[in-house]
């Protein structure tokens, strides 16, 4: 009779669910789980910090529309993932954290790395459970994977007390769950769809707002049909690219005018949180009619005056909306779309001035323009920082669904580097470029070693403006003459990839940016382009970009 340990059972369950890659930091009491994963043929990505490992897993999962899985040890190894769980849940990215914990027999008496891991994990998760026996590992891993992707995706936590991982049981008692349920998408109420169709058809100034829920449900094609009926739309930062950004109805660059002017809005798979100005005046018109298509009914109770909430899968709802509108003539004022397009052009012209600056030190708008000009259309883009992230949002286009990553709803620094690695590992065939501030890079920069080791040939572009938002906070918000706590040394970040035999570039002049980026993209190794940017440069205000 063959016996297998709990770690191997977990690995078999992962394989049965179609997972082929896991992330983590090797540690007790999860050694058997790492070994089991290798024995079952999973790719195991050993990382340098659990927080980054979990961000990589989140990006891998988001790219694939599958659970991203991270395996970590006990105590601080698990607490290191708390931020990532919180971020994954807030940003609706599917993440499964499998954490080892002190053996039951040592609890309460000062066991090694003893810690109330369930309590640490709970607020960041949509579901959590503790393994109670080796025989139930298969079932509980099956549940964890399913819960992370069902409904609104997010983080889940499964706690493995040490004795459950190493214990061996006869293989036939492992209880692997081979059958994965096929979930049919939640269909909308046809009457509600008719009402939205009427609302859009009768509106003079209709507007669609697209959130990342639409990307999760693969609503891109249906949305393209809808916007091409002549309806302008804005997209949330991670909802970009669902409909390719060069669609003429895309008006993020005129977003303030679009929000203020619309008399009917349909929010699709997004939330009325700070990113969309809470859906409140004065950023929205008085009396605007709002409908919201959303998987989670609770999300429809928010700060915005929502008139109609439709609980449904975004793709199913948009497909039905298209059918309901087929053959109808929209009453939309023909000047509405044209005025937003004109506003977009004038905002873009304003940006173009900054993008064309030849200054040294380099203006960050110029840097991002150069990135935009060399980026392949199918590239995944990860942006992180404050000044640089805002500029990237304004300038870098996305043409592919679930390929634009940023600090998300929580605004968490330290996501850009691991997201870029995670998405590259999910789609090694496509380029992955991270544009990050010097602080944001430093928050997870050591993961370039992980990238080099596992062959994730990301191109990192570091905008080095010597501080947290350059010198803006230091010079204008902190007391004059105080120690420079928001400033950073102009450190030579390109040496971070030299230490792992990657491709490095150091750029100080605007005309050097493009050739450096081209060499980095062609390098076929992990690459870092370190660009000295102007510490005094700030983002242009005026609502030209999406927060
Ligand atoms: C985890 C976390 N810690 C701290 C912050 C606060 N914060 C916002 S932006 C920022 C740094 C931005 O500097 P940098 O990455 O260099 O980009 P820049 O704005 O200079 O382009 C920090 C620390 C945060 N958002 N997230």
Split at pLDDT 50, 70, 90, the class of 291 is very high
Distance 547 CA to ligand 1 centre (A): 14
Predicted TM-score of the model (pTM)? 0.97
Q: Ligand 1 centre from 388 Cα, in Å?
A: 10
Closest residue by Cα to residue 538 from 358, 370, 365: 365
**Ligand 1 atom with the shortest distance to the CA of 441:** 15
Q: How far is the CA of 468 from the centre of ligand 1 (A)?
A: 6
Nearest atom (ligand 1) to Cα of 412? 26
Residues 261-265, mean pLDDT to the nearest whole number: 98
* Residue 384 CA to ligand 1 centre (angstroms): 8
Side-chain half-sphere exposure of 328, counting CA atoms within 13 A: 19
What integer is the mean pLDDT of 412-431? 98
C-beta of 232 in contact with ligand 1 (< 6 A): no
Contact 310, 253 (CB under 8 A): no
Q: Which tens digit of pLDDT belongs to each residue from 76-120? A: 999 999 999 999 999 999 999 999 999 989 999 998 999 999 999
Residue 470 Cβ inside 6 Å of ligand 1? The answer reads: yes
CA dist 372 and 369 (Å) reads 5
pLDDT average, residue stretch 183-187: 94
Q: What's the CA dihedral at 35, 41, 45, 46 to 10 degrees?
A: 20
Helix or strand holding residue 336 (H, E): helix 334-355
Compute the average pLDDT of residues 304-311: 97
Q: What is the pLDDT of residues 143-160, one digit of tens each?
A: 999 999 999 999 999 999
Segment 61-69 mean pLDDT: 98
Distance, in Å, from the CA atom of 238 to the CA atom of 458, rounded to the nearest integer, reads 19
Mean pLDDT on 376-391? 97
Residue 543 has pLDDT above 60, yes or no: no
* Most confident of the ranges 2-11, 101-110, 324-333: 2-11
* 51 CB within 6 A, ligand 1: no
Query: Would you place residue 545 in the very low, low, confident or very high pLDDT band (cuts 50, 70, 90)?
Result: very low
Find the helix or strand (DSSP H, E) in which 210 lies.
strand 206-210
Q: How far is ligand 1, taken at its centre, from the CA of residue 439, in Å?
A: 6
Q: What percent of the chain has pLDDT over 90?
A: 92
Residue 207 pLDDT more than 80? yes
Cβ neighbours of residue 375 closer than 8 Å, sequence gap 6 or more = 381, 396, 431, 433
> Is 471's pLDDT higher than 90?
no
How far is Cα 287 from Cα 514, in angstroms, rounded to an integer? 48
Q: Does residue 465 line the site of ligand 1, with CB under 6 A? A: yes
Q: Is 442 in the pocket of ligand 1 (CB under 6 A)?
A: no
Structure tokens that stand for 85 in this block: 């769980």
**In this model, does residue 546 exceed pLDDT 60?**
no
Ligand 1 lined by 392 (C-beta under 6 Å): no
If you average pLDDT over residues 219-235, what whole number do you get? 97
Q: Give residue 544's pLDDT.
A: 36
Q: Name 135's Cβ contacts closer than 8 Å, sequence gap at least 6.
A: 169, 173, 174, 175
Give nearest CA residue, ligand 1 atom 20.
469
Report d(CA 404, CA 427) in Å as an integer: 13
> pLDDT by residue (tens digit) across 363-375?
999 999 999 999 9
Residue identifier of the C-alpha nearest atom 18 of ligand 1: 469
Residue nearest to atom 7 of ligand 1 (CA): 413
User: What is the C-alpha separation between 250 and 234, in angstroms, rounded?
Assistant: 6
Identify which of 366, 444, 461, 468 to mutate to test ligand 1's pocket (most ligand atoms within 8 A of the CB).
468
**Neighbour count for residue 269 (Cβ, 10 Å):** 31
Pocket residue to mutate for ligand 1, from 85, 386, 393, most atoms within 8 A of Cβ = 386
CA of 470 to the centre of ligand 1 (A): 10
- Predicted confidence at residue 440, as pLDDT, reads 98
DSSP code per residue over 159-170: EEEHHHHH-EEE
Ligand 1 atom with the shortest distance to the CA of 384: 15
């Amino acid at each position: 009779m063959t016996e297998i340990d709990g770690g191997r059972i977990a690995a078999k369950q992962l394989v049965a669910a179609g997972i082929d890659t896991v992330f983590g930091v090797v540690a007790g009491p999860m050694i058997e789980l790492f070994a089991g994963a290798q024995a079952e043929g999973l790719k195991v990505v050993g990382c340098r910090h659990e927080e980054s490992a979990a961000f990589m897993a989140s990006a891998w999962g988001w790219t694939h529309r599958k659970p991203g899985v991270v395996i970590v040890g006990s105590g601080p190894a698990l607490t290191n993932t708390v931020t990532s769980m919180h971020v994954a849940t807030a940003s609706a990215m599917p993440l499964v954290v499998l954490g080892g914990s002190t053996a039951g027999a040592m609890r309460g008496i000062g066991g090694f790395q003893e810690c109330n891991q369930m309590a640490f994990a709970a607020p960041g998760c949509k579901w959590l459970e503790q393994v109670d026996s080796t025989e139930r590992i298969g079932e509980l891993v099956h549940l964890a994977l399913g819960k992370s992707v069902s409904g609104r995706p997010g983080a889940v936590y499964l706690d493995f007390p040490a004795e459950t991982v190493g214990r061996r049981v006869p293989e036939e008692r492992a209880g692997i769950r081979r059958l994965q349920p096929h979930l049919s998408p939640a269909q909308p109420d046809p009457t509600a769809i008719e009402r939205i169709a009427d609302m859009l058809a009768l509106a003079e100034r209709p507007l669609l707002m697209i959130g990342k829920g639409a990307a999760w449900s693969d609503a891109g094609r249906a949305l393209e049909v809808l916007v091409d009926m002549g309806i302008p739309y804005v997209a949330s930062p991670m909802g970009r690219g669902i409909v390719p950004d060069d669609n003429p109805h895309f008006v993020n660059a005129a977003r303030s005018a679009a929000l203020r002017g619309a008399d009917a809005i349909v929010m699709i798979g997004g939330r009325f949180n700070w990113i969309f100005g809470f859906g409140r005046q004065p950023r929205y018109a008085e009396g605007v009619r709002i409908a919201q298509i959303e998987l989670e009914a609770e999300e429809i109770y928010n700060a915005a005056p929502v008139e109609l909430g439709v609980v449904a899968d975004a793709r199913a709802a948009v497909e039905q909306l298209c059918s309901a509108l087929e053959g109808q003539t929209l009453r939309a004022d023909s000047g509405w779309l044209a005025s937003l397009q004109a506003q977009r052009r004038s905002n873009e012209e304003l940006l173009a001035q900054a993008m064309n600056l030849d200054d040294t030190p380099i203006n960050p708008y110029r840097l991002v323009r150069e990135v935009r000009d060399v980026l392949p259309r199918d590239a995944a883009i990860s942006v992180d920082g404050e000044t640089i992230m805002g500029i990237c949002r304004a300038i870098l286009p996305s043409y592919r669904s679930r390929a634009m990553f940023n600090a998300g709803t929580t605004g968490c620094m330290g996501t850009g580097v691991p997201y870029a690695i995670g998405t590259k590992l999910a789609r090694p065939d496509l380029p992955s470029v991270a544009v990050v501030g010097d602080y944001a890079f430093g928050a997870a920069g050591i993961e370039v070693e992980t990238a080099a080791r596992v062959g994730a040939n990301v191109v990192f572009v570091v905008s080095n403006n010597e501080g947290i938002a350059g010198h803006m906070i230091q010079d204008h918000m902190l007391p004059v003459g105080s120690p420079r706590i928001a400033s950073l040394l102009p450190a030579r970040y390109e040496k971070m990839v030299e230490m792992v035999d990657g491709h490095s570039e150091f750029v100080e002049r605007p005309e050097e940016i493009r050739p450096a980026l081209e060499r980095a993209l062609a390098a076929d190794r992990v690459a870092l382009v370190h660009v000295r940017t102007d510490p005094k440069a700030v983002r242009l205000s005026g609502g030209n970009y999406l927060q």
